[in-house]
Structure 1
Amino acid sequence: MGQVFRDSHWDRNHVVSRLLEGVKLPSMVRIRQNFDQTKIEDLPAAIHDALSQEKICRSIRPGMRIAITAGSRGTDRYPEEMCAIVSELKALGADPFLIPAMGSHGGGTAEGQALMLQNLGITEETVGAPIRATMEVVQIGSNMDGYPVYIDKYAAEADGIVIVNRIKPHTNFRGEYESGLMKMMTIGLGKNVGAATCHRLPMDDMSHNVFAFGSAVLKHANVLFGLATLENPLDKVRRVIALTPEEIPEQEKLLQAEAKMSMPRLPADEFDVLIVDQIGKNFSGPGMDPNVTGISGNPHLKLKPDVQRRVVLDVSDESHGNATGIGLADFSTKRAFDKIDFDAGYANNITSRSLAGGRIPIILQNDLLAIRAALYTCDGIRTEEARLMRIPNTLHIGEIEVSTALLPTLSATACIEILTDPYVWNFDADGNLF
């Protein structure tokens, strides 16, 4: 169930439940999207090979205190990755430590950010190095546009910094630089202050801003190297790339273009209802990835799929009440609402100036009512023939559920495998699916 912050009460007079009781749900089937499954089997070995390159290891001297950035995303084999980096640096005689590098996430507090890492399996015990969390920053200079550049105090005091991040399309803007090493230097290392400085600038210029701030960090801070990962559509690491500071700006553009080619998507561009079992910061920065759901807090970003109604059923335990993204749904549940820690989410919403995800959708008593309401309010459909998809979250869409009405649309898609015969929904006595 996760941490619950309130016990809300809805539909005391059963008006809504009576209104929706005749809504019929479509039959469902489970399908598999057969994405490219190329992945690195031995991640520590791949990291060893990357960091053993002369261009990388020559930057490390015995006794150096090295800060390693640790972000807030639940990436593939994250503790194993960070442990391997720590081990390689120790083997070269360095004294590494980790710093939470996640802007204003974790409620914008050092304790909250350390807790986010802990819940992703990142602790001193699992990675073999201390976690040093602070929200204090140091101004290290200005960028090419004249804006001040800030980084984490402990990173600034270290003898060197290692930038670690996954490269992938961003959820709220497009450009040559999106999520990756440059953004980690801009937003992650910048903490609340640095993130706010960048986010106050126009969203349409965000890719340039990430380049401008990231370039300034490379110029004014002692970045030793960057370690980037690329994932396959099933979110498994398929490439590990170590880059010198000089290589990062140009190589990241190429890696971002490669990452876009591997971005997983839902197998239809238009349907009636999307049900997301869980949202959370461990799945995507905005709680649910707009590249999957087709809706973003940025109204200028045109995305697929086109969906009439979206339903969010729950907030992940790992998100610790940060329900950012729930506002992009049309309907949600009492279970999800009762988990919302407004302090955890609002600092992030306001800092990023992405307000839509922090709003509250229509809240209904249980999963059944939320799904029925979504179907009831769709235009031009018979609810039992609705084109509907249900996904566990936006990070894991390899196996999903679709209504039988969608099958003719999907049958021409070679990468789809139907796993079950049609079945009816299985709600418990409280009207919930889980």
Structure 2
Amino acid sequence: MESLDLSKFSKIELPKFLKVRQNFKRDKIENVSDEVKKQIMPYINSLRNKKIAVGVGSRGIANINIITKTVINCLKEAGARPFIVPAMGSHGGATENGQIEILNSYGISEETMGVKIDGSMDTKIIGEYEPDLPVYLAKSVLMADGIVIIPRIKPHTGFRGRVESGICKMLSIGLGKQIGADSIHSKGFGRFSELIPGIGCMIAKKINVLFALAIIENAYDETYKIEFINKDEIIQLKREEALLKESRDLMAKILLPKFDVLVIDEIGKNISGNGQDPNVTGLYFTKYASGGPEFKKCAILDISKESHGNANGVGVSDVITRKLFDKIDFISMYTNCFTSTYMEPAKIPMVAANSEDAIKIAVKICNGVKIGEHKIVWIKNTMKLDNIIVSEPLLEEVKLNPDLDILTEAEDVKFYNGEPKFK
């Protein structure tokens, strides 16, 4: 497979670029471990010799190793015998080793946590939500005396509902492993607003959920809030619903509503379930969610190391780089998409030889804009949105926005072996 040799075509001029800071609310928890203890210690008792599963997901949550370790230590102090269960559906290639490897990459291992990790993918049907919709749960959870889950609550990338990503999703899809995730996804995202809370509450009623330790992050992906939610509150949904609204209000955004080209340095499963968060970019792969900026073309340059080759979501772009393509673990990506029943995120866009060519191709195919006047927004990823790069034609819009600060003068971007270098 070859990429286009742009030297054989007319020269493609890029505008000058400048660095800009986006300013968001930055309240955060200073001592995460102390906050975890404060939240859970008053409520855990009568656990002596009880075997407690601790469900941990695959998302790149700030301080997740500290939070998990503190939860485990608190459970031990209460006399329990905790162990960790990966609660991540089909991620990690839907294999035990793959899911444990994801946890290890977050600093969560048997050595660092001081407990066993049971990554078994075995499940058991615990009932039917409706005819032809069995509800699966990890056997490792069912063999425990109780379970604790540590979810982050935030808007979902593929649907809108009373609750989205968070407690109910971790219970219904995360702890359902590959077959449970597949069962729910087979009904399509159009029903997720009903199925996620419905099945999540059904599971919470059937098993001994001790509590969820819900996390909200600020726009800088720092720990903003940690909240203890007991079983009854999980089933009532009101606490999770309120935290979702709070999370949505705190989310980082691209503060320029309309431009021509979006450049994303990296995507990855540690960043978002879809590699990049459509709530930020507007690059949705379903019709059941909307929002975000308006633009014409998108180039994605790389995949994060923590994604372990799962490039799920790459299909929403127009052009990618050779280095990204060469890192793709197709089995991991295909397993993810096969389970979700949405193939669009796994489609391969045009592959450019390097980052310089990818950006220039995105500019060339962006019709209706004069050479040198393309409005380009360039971000690291959808979790790192404080400092961004914009092209000079956006300068006046930046100056008019009180939440944007100009950090540098506009300058030509330099490329070395096709990769960008900024001062």
Matched ranges for 1:84-99 at <5 A: 84-99=70-85
Give the corresponding residue for 2:107.
121
Give the corresponding residue for 1:62.
48
Q: Which amino acid aligns with 1:388?
A: I
Pick the aligned partner of 2:377 from 375, 389, 398: 389
Following superposition, the deviation at residue 145 of structure 1 comes to 7.0
Following superposition, the deviation at residue 318 of structure 1 comes to 1.2
Matched ranges for 1:392-407 at <5 A: 392-407=380-395
SS at the partner of 2:111? helix
Q: Deviations over 1:300-326 (max 9, x none)?
A: 433221111100001111111111111
Pick the aligned partner of 2:171 from 178, 181, 185: 185
* Unmatched 5+ stretches in structure 1: 1-7
Give the corresponding residue for 1:216.
202
Following superposition, the deviation at residue 17 of structure 1 comes to 3.5
Q: Which amino acid aligns with 2:362?
A: A
Give the corresponding residue for 2:243.
255
Whole-Å separation in 1 of the counterparts to 2:362 and 2:134: 46
- Say whether 1:37 aligns with 2:26: yes
Q: Deviations over 1:194-252 (max 9, x none)?
A: 10111111312202100111011111111111110111111111111001110012211
Pick the aligned partner of 1:362 from 342, 350, 365: 350
Pick the aligned partner of 1:277 from 262, 265, 287: 265
> How many residues of Structure 1 are paired with residues of Structure 2 in the alignment?
419
Q: Which amino acid aligns with 1:196?
A: D
Pick the aligned partner of 2:302 from 287, 296, 314: 314
Give the corresponding residue for 1:340.
328
CA contact (8 A) 2:279 2:290 kept: no
Whole-Å separation in 2 of the counterparts to 1:242 and 1:300: 30
Q: Residues 163 and 341 (structure 1 numbering): CA distance in 2 closer, same or farther, change over 3 Å?
A: same
Dislocated runs of 4+, deviation >3 Å: none
Following superposition, the deviation at residue 48 of structure 1 comes to 0.3
Q: Which amino acid aligns with 1:149?
A: V
Q: Deviations over 1:108-146 (max 9, x none)?
A: 111111111111221112222221101110112223677
Whole-Å separation in 2 of the counterparts to 1:126 and 1:385: 52
Whole-Å separation in 2 of the counterparts to 1:120 and 1:399: 24
Whole-Å separation in 2 of the counterparts to 1:298 and 1:67: 34
CA contact (8 A) 2:57 2:87 kept: yes
Following superposition, the deviation at residue 19 of structure 1 comes to 1.7
Whole-Å separation in 1 of the counterparts to 2:288 and 2:56: 31
CA RMSD of aligned residues (A): 1.4
Q: Which amino acid aligns with 2:352?
A: L
SS at the partner of 1:214? helix
Matched ranges for 1:66-81 at <5 A: 66-81=52-67
SS at the partner of 2:225? strand
Following superposition, the deviation at residue 264 of structure 1 comes to 1.1
Give the corresponding residue for 2:133.
147
Q: Deviations over 1:354-394 (max 9, x none)?
A: 21110000001011111111101112112322110111111
* Unmatched 5+ stretches in structure 2: none
- Say whether 1:10 aligns with 2:3: yes
Give the corresponding residue for 2:281.
293
Give the corresponding residue for 2:116.
130
- Say whether 1:158 aligns with 2:144: yes
SS at the partner of 1:357? helix
Q: Which amino acid aligns with 1:263?
A: M
Whole-Å separation in 1 of the counterparts to 2:394 and 2:67: 39
Q: Residues 50 and 65 (structure 1 numbering): CA distance in 2 closer, same or farther, change over 3 Å?
A: same
Q: Which amino acid aligns with 1:345?
A: M
SS at the partner of 2:337? helix
SS at the partner of 2:68? helix
State which drifts further: 143-152 or 311-320.
Answer: 143-152
CA contact (8 A) 1:30 1:400 kept: yes
Whole-Å separation in 1 of the counterparts to 2:127 and 2:294: 44
Q: Please, what TM-score do these two structures have when normalized by structure 2?
A: 0.96
Whole-Å separation in 2 of the counterparts to 1:267 and 1:127: 39
SS at the partner of 2:332? helix
Q: Which amino acid aligns with 1:19?
A: F
Following superposition, the deviation at residue 350 of structure 1 comes to 1.2
Give the corresponding residue for 1:25.
14
Q: Please, what TM-score do these two structures have when normalized by structure 1?
A: 0.94
